[in-house]
Amino acid sequence: MDIHTLMFGWEYPPHHLGGLGVACQGLVQGLLGNGVQVTLVLPHPSNTAETADMHVITPTETLLKTVHVLSFLSPYDGHVQFRKRAANMPRELTEIYGADLPQAVLHFTAMSVEMTKDTNPDIVHCHDWMTYGAAAQAAAYHDVPLVAHIHATELDRTHFHPNEWIFAAERRGLLAADRIIAVSNYTKQILTTHYGIAPDKISVVHNGSATCTDTRPPVIASQAGEGRPPMILFLGRLTIQKGPMQFLDMAAKVHQLRPDVQFIMAGEGGMIGEIMRRACELRLENVVAFAGKVSNDEAERLYRQASCFVMPSLSEPFGLVALEAIAHGTPAIISKQSGVSEVVGHAFKVDFWDTEKMADCALTILRDAPLAQQLTSEAPRVLQHLTWINQASQVRSIYQDLIQ
């Protein structure tokens, strides 16, 4: 069966802040590999190369060349974060769209629906809350099924203290969808418990990984000879969801017993000032380095240099960074409150609040090189199964069920 999906995304490399863009790109490429034709709608100018089976539509290019305001929107934003972004917008853009998050989302919805009237899709597929309105209207216009793909909820982003407007927008979109794809059973449980969604409406499709496995041993096995100190890595947005404060608490406990260990926090976010102050309070200013936003190449280098990777997220729907870490031969400590813990067996799994145990696990990895090697030994098997071609095949099957 030939299938044409009209897909509404919010991030797509190179325009992305977090894992949503990476996952969207992986899924699109996987769908193309499964013979699905994709029309992708994005809220910013795209450098994405088109193919015979994929057409990219962006509001800024198609309707108004000056409407770069849409690239200031982020699926990770609440009202406060959006207003901060709006403060940096050109004046003519804020006059058109305002500095109000709901207003900006409504403008994206109106433009996207108008632009996609001639696409003639078999199904509409949307990613996270900012695209729900546009996707629901497009599905109604074309009279085709709607699939809502959940990469994160407002409850994840705010540690269960949601912005009520965003929470309501999410729930409306979920109720409007004919099928929901959750990136983990962990996320499915949140949707059924807190959003009142029927379990049989939700299909779980774990994220895939485009990362090739690195067969080299963990860095700690060779550091002694090179004279480099051990390094523990955090890589993620500096927001409450990702657990940067828990990482610092863990670092303080490790530092007491291993003052030679260095810590790198890579990423950017609104909590950077608060995190730096906390590092100073814990007297870690000489052992914690802040790398800021890193490129893919820089991230790979950090993974390979790290003795240990820690993902202490308070609520992580999936957690692609953990797959990236083990793919590069880096032992991982991951939050139990995550989706990736469902697919990774050889890793230390710790409740995000248990920083004492987190530190114990890190110290164990640092002193036991054979164990560190064992923790990454399953990476080839896991990643061989979790390819985007395989995961997209499951999504194609969902499409077929809905179309038939």
* Least confident span in 11-15, 26-30, 250-254: 11-15
Q: Which pLDDT score is estimated for 48? A: 56
pLDDT of residue 50: 59
DSSP one-letter string for 312-358: --SSBS--HHHHHHHHTT--EEEESSBSGGGT--SSEEE-TT-HHHH
Tell me the per-residue pLDDT of 145-178, one tens digit each, with 9 for 90 and over: 999 999 999 999 999 999 999 999 999 999 999 9
Model confidence at 97, pLDDT cuts 50, 70, 90, reads very low
What are the strands of the beta sheet with 36-41, ordered from one edge? 54-57, 36-41, 3-8, 123-127, 146-150, 179-182, 202-204
Q: What is the pLDDT of residue 96?
A: 36
- Which pLDDT does position 319 carry in this prediction? 96
Percent of the chain with pLDDT over 90: 65
| Lowest pLDDT segment from 66-70, 106-110, 314-318 | 66-70
CATH 3.40.50.2000 assigned to domain 220-384? The reply is: yes
Domain 3-208+387-403 classification at class level: alpha beta
Q: Per-residue pLDDT tens for 215-231? A: 555 554 345 446 789 99
Residue 94 pLDDT: 44
- The span from the CA of 332 to the CA of 147, in Å, is 33
Quote the pLDDT of residue 82: 46
* 256-280 mean pLDDT: 97
Average pLDDT, the chain: 85
Q: CA gyration radius for the chain?
A: 21
pLDDT given at position 114: 83
Delimit the domains of the chain by residue range. 3-208+387-403, 220-384
Q: Which pLDDT score, from 0 to 100, does residue 313 have?
A: 98
- What are the distances in angstroms from CA 233 to CA 38, 119, 320, 362? 37, 45, 15, 11
At 284 the pLDDT is 98
Q: Which one has a higher pLDDT value, 322 or 85? A: 322
Average pLDDT over residues 104-126: 87
Lowest model confidence (mean pLDDT) among 86-90, 97-101, 150-154: 86-90
Average pLDDT over every residue of 278-289 = 98
| Structure confidence at residue 239 (pLDDT) | 94
Report whether pLDDT(15) > 80. Answer: no
More confident of the two residues 66 and 26: 26
Q: SS3 helix, strand, coil % of the chain, rounded to 5?
A: 50, 15, 35
pLDDT-based confidence at residue 357 (cuts at 50, 70, 90):
very high
Average pLDDT over every residue of 73-81: 50
What's the mean pLDDT in 67-81? 43
Residues 6+ apart with CB under 8 A from 378: 326, 344, 345, 346
Model confidence band, residue 22 (pLDDT cutoffs 50, 70, 90): confident
| pLDDT tens figures, 183-240 | 999 999 999 999 999 999 999 999 998 765 555 555 543 454 467 899 999 999 999 9
Distance CA 357, CA 173 (A): 39
